[in-house]
Amino acid sequence: MTLWSRDTLHPAHLVGAENQAGESDLLTVVRVFRRRWRTAAWFAGIIMTVTVLVTLLMTPLYAPDVRIEIGPPGSEAFSINHDDLAASDNDYVETQVLNLLSEQLAITTIRELQLDQKPEFIATRHLLPLGWLRPRRRDDTANQNRDELRLTPQESRALEFFKRQLEVRRLGNSRIVGVSFASKDPHLAAQVANTLALNFVNQYYRSRHEAIVQSYQWIERQLDDIRQKMEASNQALVRFQRSSGITDLDEQQNTFTQRVAELNRQLTQAEMERVQYESFLSKAGLGEEDALPQVEDNQVVLALKQKVAQAQADLSQGLAIYGPNHIKAKQLQSQFNDLNASLLAEKQKIVEALKTNAIAAENRQLEVGHRLDAMRKDLNKLAASNVLKKEAATNSDVYNKLYTSVKEASIAAASKSSNIQIVSKARVLETPTSPNALLNLAIGIFVGIVGGVVLAFANEGLDRTIHTPEEVKRFTGQSPMSIVPLLHSIEPKRFGWYKAISLFPGKVLPAQNRDMVFVVASPWSPQAEAVRSLKSSILLASAEQSSLVILVVSSTAGEGKTLLSVNLASALAEQAETCLLDVDIRRPRAASTLGLLPANGLKDVLEQIVPLEQALIKVPHVPGLAVLPPRAADEKVVEIANSPAMGGIIAALRQKFRFVVVDCPPIISYPEGRVLSKWVDSVILVGRCGTTTREALIRSVEILAEVQAPVLGVVLNGADLSAPEYSYYQYSS
């Protein structure tokens, strides 16, 4: 990327990122959409047109809806299935939805309604020339199995059409399933939907009834065996109880367990008494007889204790009065000793009684333990009794359950109850369900708008060409010297097409070239004004030079370089004598654009076949303009760029003309522009909106910088003034 001065190209910093950084995302979106709105509009228009045509051409179809409630197994009035978990099983409903789509159910409906005779069902859907590509069925009726389901060709086509038109859907997460069939005939559509739903319910009822009958027969056969086993187990239990003496008192107890429980109670009581008496004797052995409850609660001991206490008090008083040797004191002492001996004898009796009780409790404990051990040896009888009891109870339970199942199966087989039922039947619709014009139009508008916007931005992202002066500045570093409008962009449209008419007619030109030399044909047109603006810039930049040689180059072909050269030379001819030098020997177009047919050219001058003055052609309708074509119309292509005499010819033209406009081939593909740039005063690079790519423009700038060409600036050609980005450029008087 480079920034340009008046005479030379100087390397500079990048300016594209700086320009883009100053532009917000919203402005970028608006700019892109304003530039590409036609693409979005065309796409949206095409989508809307296709949507409308498809909607109008579609055959109206009627698809009435049948609602079927599919409950889980066990939800019917009489059921032999009592699984509570089935009520929350969504897989069951999904399975029934798939059953509704089965071919067997469809074939049953087709045959019942004779749909294989309806033209709508058996119409051929494939192209006749491609019919031989369809696989043909072999005729192998001889090997046909009786269980195989064979369809006629009409039934096969009807089945294919039936499956395409049938729709089965579950309504949300509920138990309701909707069944619809689309047909051109509303009566037939309702009849098919109702028949299919009824066949589904009947088929489910038949399969359920057959399963119940088979279960009933099997249970009934098993019931006799279970009854015999139950009676045999009950009789064995009774015989064992009689022989063992174990009789059941209730469901939890019998005589054996009751006796064992009583012995355990007696053993525990004897053990507790023995321990208690032993604790009393341990206290007596320690001399704590007074702490025994038997001593404390004995009335004789209490009376003796009172007498001993009274005798002790009297003895103490007599000793104090009479002394120890007095006869009275000795009597009191003898009385106290007798009472104390009686108290000790009474306590000894109580201790002996405790010893006797302890021995009795220990003996009783041993006796009860022996009896309990003897009872434990009879536990095998109890275990055998329990086994027989459980076996009898199990056989009774199995028999009762089977008997209950037989009764329920008989009731369910006789009843018409089912967990699948038709909630609402299909009715004959007055209006078709498809096509939905409003929905199709809404989808078409949405797809058209969204797709158009996406397509517009996709085209913008894939488009590598330049369109605006801002892009030229972004990739070259300098704004264009002039913006030449599109040739027909100022003329009115009729039915979307430009009509080539001349505004502000000027001098007469040949009819085939009148629109191309617009400086002469329409001198006040925006194109002519743009060229005059370029002319003014050139004159201001080279005001001090007596003669000026201007090289007009472009990156590639088709960018309007020749058209700009012809009109620039015509505009300069109004100022002074001007020569238009065409060095594009491969595609010489300057002379033909001006309506001239050259007999000689630059090639003849370089080869010194004719003099320069003889090769120059005066343009009759543009005074002051002469053209030097590269060759005659019938001459072959030769190289003239590297001719040694080329510099002399340009010098001679400088002496003869005030302005020399040189039209050369594209600078990227051909060498003429690089060679001639060292003999000219100014170089003008031409770019065309929508044609010149960014890479080509950058490459052209690099080439001119490499040869140090005196680049004056860039001209943006072919600008569409009706585009939004050029709204500021328009001017009306």
Residue 643 sits in a domain whose CATH number is: 3.40.50.300
Task: Calculate mean pLDDT across residues 474-483.
Answer: 82
- By the 10 Å C-beta count (0-12 exposed, 13-18 middle, 19+ buried), 668 is classed as middle
Q: Which two tokens stand for residue 470?
A: 């801002």
Nearest to 74 by CA among 419, 434, 531: 419
- Write down the pLDDT at residue 635: 60
Domain assignment present for 676:
yes
- Write down the pLDDT at residue 731: 55
Lowest mean pLDDT among 114-128, 323-337, 673-687: 114-128
328 and 476 inside one domain? no
Residue that is last in its domain, among 391, 419, 449: 391
Task: Calculate mean pLDDT across residues 211-218.
Answer: 74
Using the CB atoms, write b or e for 559-597: b if 16+ within 10 Å: bbbbbbbbbbbbbbbbeebbbbbbbbbeebbbbbbbbbe
pTM, two decimal places: 0.53
Q: 200, 104 in Cβ contact below 8 A?
A: no
pLDDT for 551 beyond 50: yes
Quote the DSSP letter at residue 497.
Answer: E
Domain assignment present for 529:
yes
Taking only the tens place, the pLDDT of each residue in 246-274 is 655 555 556 667 677 777 887 788 778 77
235: confidence class by pLDDT, cuts 50, 70, 90? confident
* Gap between the Cα atoms of 281 and 619, Å rounded: 160
Q: 97, 168 in Cβ contact below 8 A?
A: yes
- Write down the pLDDT at residue 46: 93
Domain count, the chain: 2
Taking all residues of the chain, what is their mean pLDDT, rounded to a whole number? 78
- Write down the pLDDT at residue 523: 84
Long-range contacts of 264-268, Cβ-Cβ distance < 8 Å, separation of 24 or more: 264/372, 266/364, 266/368, 267/365, 267/368, 267/369, 267/372
Task: Calculate mean pLDDT across residues 42-55.
Answer: 91
697 and 554 inside one domain? yes
Q: Give the amino acid at 272.
A: M
330 and 475 inside one domain? no
Domain assignment present for 352:
yes
Q: What share of the chain is helix, strand, coil (3-state, %, to 5)?
A: 55, 10, 30
291: confidence class by pLDDT, cuts 50, 70, 90? low
582 and 684 inside one domain? yes
List all residues 6 or more positions away from 183 whose beta carbon is below 8 Å from its beta carbon.
61, 62, 63, 120, 165, 189, 192
Quote the DSSP letter at residue 62.
Answer: B
Higher pLDDT, 125 or 696: 696
Domain assignment present for 372:
yes
Nearest to 438 by CA among 49, 41, 180, 55: 55
Domain carrying residue 339: 255-391
Domain assignment present for 369:
yes
- By the 10 Å C-beta count (0-12 exposed, 13-18 middle, 19+ buried), 333 is classed as middle
- Write down the pLDDT at residue 469: 84
DSSP state string for 605-667: HHTTSS-HHHH-EE-TTSTTEEEE-SS-TTPPP---TT-TTHHHHHHHHHHH-SEEEEE---T
Taking only the tens place, the pLDDT of each residue in 583-616 is 888 888 888 888 888 888 888 888 888 898 998 9
Residue that is last in its domain, among 391, 419, 444: 391
Residue that is last in its domain, among 353, 374, 391: 391
pLDDT for 15 beyond 50: no
* Gap between the Cα atoms of 260 and 373, Å rounded: 10
List all residues 6 or more positions away from 656 whose beta carbon is below 8 Å from its beta carbon.
577, 579, 612
369 and 475 inside one domain? no
* Gap between the Cα atoms of 185 and 685, Å rounded: 71
Taking only the tens place, the pLDDT of each residue in 623-639 is 899 999 887 655 655 66
Domain assignment present for 657:
yes
Q: How many CB atoms lie within 10 A of CB 207?
A: 11
Quote the DSSP letter at residue 323.
Answer: -
Taking only the tens place, the pLDDT of each residue in 345-394 is 877 787 777 778 878 877 887 887 777 776 666 656 666 666 777 777 78
Q: With the C-alpha atoms ordered 186, 190, 191, 193, is the resulting torsion angle positive or negative? A: positive
User: Which residues on neighbouring strands pair with residue 172, listed in sequence order?
Assistant: none
- Write down the pLDDT at residue 198: 92
Domain assignment present for 102:
no
Domain assignment present for 607:
yes
490: confidence class by pLDDT, cuts 50, 70, 90? very low
Which residue spans within 301-426 are E strands per DSSP? 420-424
578 and 709 inside one domain? yes
List all residues 6 or more positions away from 244 whose beta carbon is below 8 Å from its beta carbon.
256, 378, 381, 384, 385
Taking only the tens place, the pLDDT of each residue in 556-588 is 888 888 999 999 999 999 889 999 999 888 888
Nearest to 122 by CA among 152, 87, 86: 152
Ramachandran quadrant class, 209 (left: phi over 0; alpha: psi -120 to 50; beta: rest): alpha
374 and 475 inside one domain? no
* Gap between the Cα atoms of 72 and 83, Å rounded: 10
582 and 686 inside one domain? yes
- Write down the pLDDT at residue 303: 81
- Write down the pLDDT at residue 335: 80
